[in-house]
A and B are shown apart, each in its own frame.
Chain A
Amino acid sequence: MDEEPERAKRWEGGYERTWEVLKEDESGSLKATVEEILYQSKRKRVIESHGQVRLGMMRHLFVVIDCSRSMEDQDLKPNRLTSTLKLMEAFIDGYFDQNPISQVGIITTKNKRAEKLTDLAGNPKKHIAMLKKAVDTVCVGEPSLYNSLKLAIQTLKHMPGHTSREILIILSSLTTCDPANIYEMTKTLKSLNVRVSIIGLSAEVRVCTVLTRETGGSYHVILDESHFKELLMLHVKPPPTSSSSECSLIRMGFPQHTIGSLADQDAKPAFSMSHLDSSSGPSLGGYFCPQCHSNYTELPVECKVCGLTLVSAPHLARSFHHLFPLDAFIESPVEEHQRNGFCQACQGELKDKSIFTCPSCRSVFCVECDLFIHDSLHCCPSCIHSQTAS
């Protein structure tokens, strides 16, 4: 029976009774099993890739954060709210890293109301700043799913049809206080092609199950903090689009970065359009919109003047890899591999139990490099190498 009362003590959360998994080997050492556990935790996040599926590359995502009374619960450290906001920061970073041409907005709900923390925007810094500020929010009352969804829809329904509309709800409370029938709202969401996903912080709630099932989203409940992070990171990858969404061509601008120097006579100081409200002064250099020559300090951004989407080529390329995911490397025990004991990437010795072989170039990698390649690089270094060499 795996239901021991000791297991759920809060100070033990996340450890998962590791001592029961530990077994001494012949020499009485625990080293082998400890390594095994570490290894397993590394492998956990191996992502199954979709292959040839249409993905919603331009995402419009509203994150709804529950700020109700239950967020003060201390089963996540130091409490649910702080922990959530912390993870959200990492999520926002990861999100823009993987989906550079997408936008995100944050909504909080408490006291039966929903408020917009940030509007849909493509600038991670602003969101993160707001999240940092939100740590001090007082958590009161009950959340309202209906109101949050309504607020999100108001913006999302105006988004163009080729983009994916998503709502991600972090729900800590087990109740929702709705002014109207939530199942009507579900129908509206469905007709608007909005996908609602929910991460529950406490337990499975019926209405969430129905909501996510109807709108094609996913519903997960966290086990502990690391699981929470994992679940959150699942939403970083763009989801497959439904076949009903339309396709269209999008105009994009690729501005060049110019570095103005005071010595250059042509250089005119300009205010960055995206920071007009902030206190930063005019600068000489920056990205200039190819259409209207307004100045921006950073990309990607939608030009405030002419509405052109401004990106840089690497951004697009980064989004691109989702469409052609790198095949999973073949895992095999190290004994089968006799040639040489070195990883192709880091040139380190292959010490772990398993090695990973790229299916196309048959190069061998260690666990660490395999993870790095799949999580960050998205291409096999030795394949690239052989391409350029030939």
Chain B
Amino acid sequence: MKLNIEGLLVYFPYDYIYPEQYSYMLELKRTLDAKGHGVLEMPSGTGKTISLLSLIVAYQRAFPLDVTKLIYCSRTVPEIEKVVEELRKLMEFYAKETGERNNFLALALSSRKNLCIHPEVSSLRFGKEVDGKCHSLTASYIRAQRHVNPNQPVCRFYEEFDAVGRQVPLPAGIYNLDDLKDFGRRKGWCPYYLARYAILHANIVVYSYHYLLDPKIADLVSKELAKKSVVVFDEAHNIDNVCIDSMSVNITRRTLDRCQNNVDTLQNTIQKIKETDAAKLREEYRRLVEGLKEANVARETDIYLSNPVLPDEILKEAVPGTIRTAEHFVGFLRRFLEYLKSRLRVHHVVQESAPQFLKDIFDKVCIDRKPLRFCAERLQSLLRTLEIADIADFSAVTLISNFATLVSTYSQGFTIIIEPFEDRTPTIANPVLHFSCMDPSIAIKPVFQRFQSVIITSGTLSPLDIYPRILDFRPVTMASFTMTLARTCLCPLIVGRGNDQVALSSKFETREDFAVIRNYGNLLLEMSAVVPDGIVAFFTSYVYMENIVASWYEQGILENIQRNKLIFIETQDAAETSMALEKYQEACENGRGAILLSVARGKVSEGIDFVHHFGRAVIMFGVPYVYTQSRILKARLEYLRDQFQIRENDFLTFDAMRHAAQCVGRAIRGKTDYGLMIFADKRYARADKRGKLPRWIQEHINDGSLNLTVDETVQLSKHFLRQMAQPFRQEDQLGLSLLTLEQLESEEMLQKITQIAHQT
């Protein structure tokens, strides 16, 4: 289908289009026209990805000078693959319609683990191992040694790529991870380095958030991407947490012990080298005097452990004298380490800001701010000089040096919290130093500054205005789109009371209340009798789930439920959970029916879709507030209040509701799908909670379904499920929620479409 979006010719690879897709493209085009940033919320399953791709590709073709590149960030490898497949469909459509092969290059990039084709290296199981092994085969000094010693093993794929690969550009086309691997095998080139090299001139790059947000990786991979790029963050409802995680450092006693070993190793190696090849160290010293600028020009494979965001001026400066020689630096590290150890020997919680920490370290062990800032750079230089091949072992000392650099670079937006024990186990000493980032805008700021348009999009971004505030940017468009439906295929119900009129709530005071637990059990039992196939139930936390399930077991509720459906439970163990998930799906498939008990914010609630029969109902037991006693959270809330004028309660509710929306949104993955969304907590009925749900859910909650009893819920569910089971064909959707080109172009429809987008 060829569309005309405000004068832009857009090729859309399907015969039908949803009205909201059209509306979405309109808003997107306006954002691109304005060369600004945008926040767009559109329900999952309404074809967000293809709308984005079609419009941006069309835009790239129409204005090749304005938009040179699309950087599409997604969260998981399967999602990345899905995007590439959509893109392939789009390109095939282009080829068919225009009849010419366009020279479009699009590729996916992932970690070495997913791209390596070296027989030995790729057989390793963990990403870290693969990275380390790869580095030991491809580092520049290893390859230099090969000239001397031909027995030195190197990676032949990398050698081949290095010899020829750079001169020959990757042929135009669409490459997902497997395509890259195939191409690599055919040519004998390393797919990982090929991809990393190719993203510089590719039209579309699809990769993970971290390549852009995590400063350690971003510096390496995304440094040279053109300014005139459009960056899209898909499924971006958690983007603030990703930003924060990428900047935070946690140090435990174990880290320090491992770090101690690292330092010892360094010391020994230095000693050895001094005896054999003192010139090398002198050479390094000379280089450091000249400044880091030159060190930065080292070859790409060496920049393996890159620095966190360093202000540019540091690179121009010379490394301070106190840490210039290798021995001094190791000594410096030792002192720093001892200091950290002494800090971890605390009996009560300590919270301080970065300047306080710096002052204390200066007072106690006379470490200045300046050498700390260079710590990360200096360590890398040393590791390079010492030619340590197996770099994976040095993660602990790298972490510490990164921490040193961060703490001395940023005085704002970070906090240091030292806890002598975990909250769950107050008797066991397990000291942790949290260097916690409180301001997500620090990590994402370079992205907003650098690129022309950044689009943040997801199925659940409500309330929209909070994202620009916490990420500190000014969007030109903020819009939320509803789902046009030919039949009401989602049924949100808020259950506020049990049959005995006990108010249902997971709030702290009634958390242990026997009556509430029993009524929750009753709700699940009754629902298990009326909902076919799969039910997914979410609890607010693992602890809460364990309590409730144990209590249900004692009351015999579990046994009764099992007469209707099988029960599976998500645990913190990933292998166990994926096993449970597999069995759950099998039970849904063969008619036995199953219930999956899982946890909001867990693995299931984020990444796994329950299409059609795998999730006919989602029950959300309680409001998934984050654990509010955590000091990190408290510090962050305080920071939000002081810096961004966001009240604690607003943020907590926002955070709880976005997770609740994520959970219930798992059930509906398209317009032919249908599902019940049951919010089992009376607090959902309050306007401040309800108002923070995405609009496409909110508009289906009517006043009648705000405070239901279990019985009423069952009756409504029964009715809804029967309605939905009636035959539903594509023709029923046509003209309402699915449009042909002619229908789209009618005046009346265009009128309607303007109402879909809800500007804030």
A residues within 8 Å of B by Cβ? 1-10, 69-70, 75, 142, 145, 174-178, 181-183, 200, 202-209, 220-223
Q: CA–CA, A69 to B705, complex, Å?
A: 29
- Considering only residues 700-742 of chain B, those with a C-beta below 8 Å from chain A are 700, 702, 704-705, 708, 712, 715-716, 718-727
Q: CA–CA, A8 to B722, complex, Å?
A: 11
B229 within 8 A of A: no
Q: CA–CA, A220 to B726, complex, Å?
A: 7
Q: How far is the CB of B7 from chain A (nearest CB, A)?
A: 37
Could you list 12 A-B pairs, sorted by A, with CB under 8 Å? A145-B591, A174-B531, A174-B532, A183-B590, A202-B718, A202-B722, A203-B532, A203-B725, A205-B613, A206-B589, A206-B591, A207-B590
- Considering only residues 556-611 of chain B, those with a C-beta below 8 Å from chain A are 563-565, 588-593
- Considering only residues 24-46 of chain B, those with a C-beta below 8 Å from chain A are none
Query: Which residue of B488, B593, B726 contacts A3 across the interface (Cβ within 8 Å)?
Result: B488
Closest to A218 in B: B727
Q: Is the CB of A175 within 8 A of B564?
A: yes
Query: Which residue of A3, A177, A222 contacts B720 across the interface (Cβ within 8 Å)?
Result: A3
Sort A-B residue pairs by CB-CB distance and give the 9 closest, nearest first: A207-B591, A8-B719, A221-B725, A206-B613, A204-B725, A203-B721, A5-B704, A176-B591, A203-B532
Question: Which residues in A have their C-beta under 8 angstroms from that of B593?
Answer: 174-175
Closest to B594 in A: A175
Q: CA–CA, A5 to B494, complex, Å?
A: 12
Q: Is the CB of A70 within 8 A of B590?
A: no
Q: CA–CA, A9 to B593, complex, Å?
A: 26
Q: CA–CA, A175 to B702, complex, Å?
A: 31
Question: Which residues in B have their C-beta under 8 angstroms from that of A182?
Answer: 590-591
Q: What 0/1 readout, one digit per residue, does chain B (87-108) give for beta carbons within 8 Å of chain A? A: 0000000000000000000000
B366 within 8 A of A: no
Question: Which residues in B have their C-beta under 8 angstroms from that of A181?
Answer: 590
Q: How far is the CB of B725 from chain A (nearest CB, A)?
A: 3
Q: CA–CA, A90 to B588, complex, Å?
A: 35
Interface centre among A1, A3, A70, A176 (most CB of B within 10 A): A3
Q: How far is the CB of B104 from chain A (nearest CB, A)?
A: 39
Closest to B714 in A: A8
Q: Is the CB of B723 within 8 A of A223?
A: yes
Question: Which residues in B have their C-beta under 8 angstroms from that of A3?
Answer: 488, 491, 700, 702, 705, 716, 720
Q: Is the CB of B589 within 8 A of A174?
A: no
Question: Which residues in A have their C-beta under 8 angstroms from that of B712?
Answer: 5
Q: Is the CB of B719 within 8 A of A205?
A: no
Q: Is the CB of A8 within 8 A of B715?
A: yes
B530 within 8 A of A: yes
Q: Is the CB of B721 within 8 A of A204?
A: yes
Q: CA–CA, A171 to B139, complex, Å?
A: 67
Q: CA–CA, A324 to B726, complex, Å?
A: 30
Question: Which residues in B have their C-beta under 8 angstroms from that of A175?
Answer: 564-565, 591-593
Q: Is the CB of A223 within 8 A of B726?
A: yes
Closest to A176 in B: B591
B residues within 8 Å of A by Cβ? 488, 491, 529-533, 563-565, 588-593, 612-613, 616, 700, 702, 704-705, 708, 712, 715-716, 718-727
Q: Is the CB of A5 within 8 A of B705?
A: yes
Q: List 16 other contacts, CB 8 Å, given A10-B715, A174-B533.
A: A7-B719, A174-B530, A175-B591, A175-B592, A177-B592, A183-B590, A203-B531, A203-B532, A203-B724, A204-B532, A204-B721, A204-B725, A207-B590, A220-B726, A221-B722, A223-B723
Q: A174-B564, A182-B590, A206-B612 are in contact. Are A6 and B530 (CB under 8 A)?
A: no
Q: A1-B702, A174-B593 are in contact. Are A202 and B721 (CB under 8 A)?
A: yes
Q: How far is the CB of B385 from chain A (nearest CB, A)?
A: 63
Q: Is the CB of B488 within 8 A of A1?
A: yes
Q: CA–CA, A145 to B592, complex, Å?
A: 11
Q: How far is the CB of A106 from chain B (nearest CB, A)?
A: 22
Q: CA–CA, A270 to B531, complex, Å?
A: 57
Q: How far is the CB of B705 from chain A (nearest CB, A)?
A: 6
Q: How far is the CB of B594 from chain A (nearest CB, A)?
A: 9
Query: Which residue of A1, A9, A208 contacts B591 across the interface (Cβ within 8 Å)?
Result: A208
Q: Is the CB of A2 within 8 A of B725?
A: no
Question: Which residues in A have their C-beta under 8 angstroms from that of B722?
Answer: 202-203, 221-223
Q: CA–CA, A142 to B712, complex, Å?
A: 25
Q: How far is the CB of B752 from chain A (nearest CB, A)?
A: 17
Q: CA–CA, A183 to B726, complex, Å?
A: 24
Q: CA–CA, A175 to B644, complex, Å?
A: 53
Question: Which residues in B have their C-beta under 8 angstroms from that of A6?
Answer: 704
Closest to A174 in B: B532
Q: CA–CA, A176 to B721, complex, Å?
A: 18
Q: CA–CA, A261 to B702, complex, Å?
A: 76
Interface centre among A4, A8, A10, A174 (most CB of B within 10 A): A174
Q: Is the CB of B725 within 8 A of A200?
A: yes
Q: CA–CA, A7 to B718, complex, Å?
A: 11
Q: Is the CB of B488 within 8 A of A75?
A: no
Q: CA–CA, A175 to B528, complex, Å?
A: 10
Q: How far is the CB of B716 from chain A (nearest CB, A)?
A: 5
Q: CA–CA, A5 to B715, complex, Å?
A: 8
Q: A1-B702, A202-B530, A202-B532 are in contact. Are A207 and B708 (CB under 8 A)?
A: no
Question: Which residues in B have their C-beta under 8 angstroms from that of A221?
Answer: 722, 725-726
Q: CA–CA, A208 to B593, complex, Å?
A: 12
Q: Is the CB of B718 within 8 A of A178?
A: no
Question: Which residues in A have their C-beta under 8 angstroms from that of B588?
Answer: 206
Q: A2-B488, A174-B532, A223-B726 are in contact. Are A207 and B564 (CB under 8 A)?
A: no
Q: How far is the CB of A142 from chain B (nearest CB, A)?
A: 8
Interface centre among B531, B533, B700 (most CB of A within 10 A): B533
Q: CA–CA, A206 to B590, complex, Å?
A: 8
Q: Is the CB of B718 within 8 A of A8?
A: yes
Q: Is the CB of A205 within 8 A of B705?
A: no
Q: CA–CA, A145 to B530, complex, Å?
A: 18
Q: Is the CB of A4 within 8 A of B721?
A: no
Q: How far is the CB of B461 from chain A (nearest CB, A)?
A: 24
Q: CA–CA, A274 to B533, complex, Å?
A: 46
Q: CA–CA, A176 to B589, complex, Å?
A: 11
Q: CA–CA, A302 to B475, complex, Å?
A: 81
Q: Is the CB of B708 within 8 A of A176?
A: no
Q: Is the CB of A174 within 8 A of B590?
A: no
Q: How far is the CB of B160 from chain A (nearest CB, A)?
A: 48
Q: CA–CA, A70 to B529, complex, Å?
A: 8
Interface centre among A70, A202, A220 (most CB of B within 10 A): A202
Q: CA–CA, A255 to B612, complex, Å?
A: 56
Q: How far is the CB of A84 from chain B (nearest CB, A)?
A: 16
Interface centre among B530, B590, B613 (most CB of A within 10 A): B590
Q: CA–CA, A205 to B589, complex, Å?
A: 9
Question: Which residues in A have their C-beta under 8 angstroms from that of B724?
Answer: 203-204
Q: How far is the CB of B384 from chain A (nearest CB, A)?
A: 58
Closest to B720 in A: A3
Q: How far is the CB of B488 from chain A (nearest CB, A)?
A: 6
Interface centre among A4, A208, A221 (most CB of B within 10 A): A221
Q: How far is the CB of B565 from chain A (nearest CB, A)?
A: 7
Q: Is the CB of A205 within 8 A of B591?
A: yes
Closest to A142 in B: B563
Q: CA–CA, A7 to B715, complex, Å?
A: 9
Closest to B674 in A: A204
Question: Which residues in A have their C-beta under 8 angstroms from that of B491?
Answer: 3
Closest to A10 in B: B715
Interface centre among B488, B533, B702, B722 (most CB of A within 10 A): B722
Question: Which residues in B have their C-beta under 8 angstroms from that of A9?
Answer: 715
Q: CA–CA, A220 to B724, complex, Å?
A: 11
Q: Is the CB of A206 within 8 A of B704?
A: no
Q: Is the CB of A176 within 8 A of B592?
A: yes
Closest to A141 in B: B563
Q: CA–CA, A5 to B492, complex, Å?
A: 12
Question: Which residues in A have their C-beta under 8 angstroms from that of B529?
Answer: 70, 174
